[in-house]
Amino acid sequence: MSWIRLKNISKSYDRAAIFREIHFKLTSGDKVGLIGQNGVGKTTLIKLILGEEEPDDGTVDITDDVRIGYFSQFSELDSETTIGAELVALFPEVLALEAEMNEVDAGFAASPDAAEMTRLVERQAELFEAQERAGSWTYENDIDTVLTKLGFSAEHRELPISQLSGGWRNRAALAKALLQQPQILLMDEPTNYLDIDGLRWLEDWFQKFDGALIVISHDRQFLDAVCNRIVEVENRRLYEYDGSFANYVQKKQMRIKTLEREFAHEGELLAYEQEAISNRKELAKNPSPALRRRLAKVKKSGTPRPVDRIVTEIYKGLHVKDELCEVTGLGMAFAGRSLFEGLSFDVRRGDRIAILGPNGCGKTTLLAALSGALAPTSSGEIRWTSGTKCVSFTQVVDELDLDDTVGHAVSAMPDSLAFHATKKSVNRFLGLFQFSEMDRARKIGQLSGGEAARIALVQCLLSGAAVIIADEPTNHLDMQSTQVMERALAHFPGAVLVVSHDRFFIDKVANRVLQFDGEGGVSELQAGV
């Protein structure tokens, strides 16, 4: 039986069509990954299901009394209560049973007569059975597990929700959505604020969830682990692919062979994606150094594809020194708490350094110190080779001029490669990130959050800097933009330091890993090919 049925839905905004005569159904056990470029209508589809938007034509049918839970990347709880109190309130039946059981206990303590004693004993037995059915013995442990896995410390749990940061209020909203025990979960980018341990736990939670799920996500490994259907929003229609994300990659490659002109670069990016998936599976079976070297050789020997030619054309004039930076005995603290001590490593041309670890361990602080936004607060030093320039994705995003145009912004930095490249090369590079020649005249202030993130990324890639520093660069990118970034970084002649929870992205890009343990320790691990 279908819980949700969309029939012949059409939807437009300001005469711009979002959907044309689409059909969709969701049944128990469906785990649907909803994908597509930013702005194609993924969130609109969720809003149609929730009744927050009305279709221009067609019908949305929801089974009566079905319980739907919803979480958005912009969801934030705002309450003067603590997160624990907010979540306990989700179990009113349990709380009512506990209150009545306390009344029964008080009745026993009042030395009742025989008749009253019999009534109390019978009622106590009934309440025990009701508590068993309602989960009275496990709900507190369930709350604690969710909060722990989402990273809430004892300090976070004691504060009113209104005093938590936006990221923590977002995680609080996620905890509430999971614990509401709905039959259907609608999830819009649930992974954005989670570290890798939190991601793995959430994957396991969704795998065990016995209801139905629709999840919007750009995290390919998450989609592959959780989903049994992929629905892509494209050209105002829905295209369905049974199976995991890996199956989608294979099946879509076959579909676009007949549409090569329309999907100029997408087939090529999917081919890279298929290679990455195959490499990951081979490495899982046999993680030997010899296999890693063989796969690396295969990558280097491949015939250049159009995306690669566009990128290498841009970078041919960028010359980078071998030694770029040396970090010695670095220690950083925040709010009086030591984050890490004695960190030493170097940065050389060609390095792709992934910085991993639990939330709050100092990853972002390290990037801020490297970019010069923070000075070492405890010990050590950061020595940049003379003349080496670095660019910070976070700073570029923060400093975007809303009155500037797309065309001017890409060449706004003093050493921008756009000054020396041909207009055709720059336009092609922008095209990879879904900006047409007409978009060059658009003002930054008119762009969506995802589009602004893409422009900031293009600025970084064209900045002429020898080192790119990026904190969660994939968070607001659609899947195709992330794939293009991966190809651009593969050919970038300098070095990259990146914090990311996107494991697929890390596996494709990184050749070194700095692993923070959350207790002040940092170790360097071997990265994949």
**Mean pLDDT, to the nearest integer, of 170-192?**
93
> In the sheet that 352-356 helps form, which strands lie side by side, from edge to edge?
390-392, 467-471, 495-499, 352-356, 512-516, 522-526
Is residue 262 very low, low, confident or very high in pLDDT (cuts 50, 70, 90)? very low
- pTM value is 0.79
CATH of region 323-526, choose from 3.30.360.10, 3.40.50.300, 3.10.50.40, 3.40.50.970: 3.40.50.300
For residue 262 the two structure tokens come to: 């329309």
Element at 392 (helix H, strand E) = strand 390-392
What value does the mean pLDDT of the chain take? 88
Instruction: Please classify residue 335 by burial: count the beta carbons closer than 10 Å to its beta carbon, then call 0-12 exposed, 13-18 middle and 19+ buried.
Output: exposed
- All CATH 3.40.50.300 domain ranges of the chain, comma separated, are 2-77+142-237, 323-526
pLDDT digits (tens, 9 = 90+) for 446-485: 888 888 999 999 999 999 999 999 999 998 888 888 988 9
For residue 199 the two structure tokens come to: 């991601």
pLDDT at position 14, please? 85
Where do we find the tokens 């992929």?
230
pLDDT digits (tens, 9 = 90+) for 267-287: 556 566 666 666 665 555 555
What residue type is assigned to position 413 of the chain? M
Q: What CATH architecture does domain 2-77+142-237 belong to?
A: 3-Layer(aba) Sandwich (3.40)
More confident residue, 76 or 47: 47
Is residue 347 very low, low, confident or very high in pLDDT (cuts 50, 70, 90)? very high
pLDDT at position 299, please? 47
Cα-atom radius of gyration of the chain, to the nearest Å?
A: 26
pLDDT at position 529, please? 39
pLDDT of 295 above 60: no
Kind of pairing, strands 212-216 and 31-35? parallel
Is residue 103 very low, low, confident or very high in pLDDT (cuts 50, 70, 90)? very high
> How far apart, in whole angstroms, are the C-alpha atoms of residue 448 and residue 366?
29
pLDDT at position 267, please? 57
449 neighbors 421 (Cβ within 8 angstroms)? no
Is residue 260 very low, low, confident or very high in pLDDT (cuts 50, 70, 90)? low
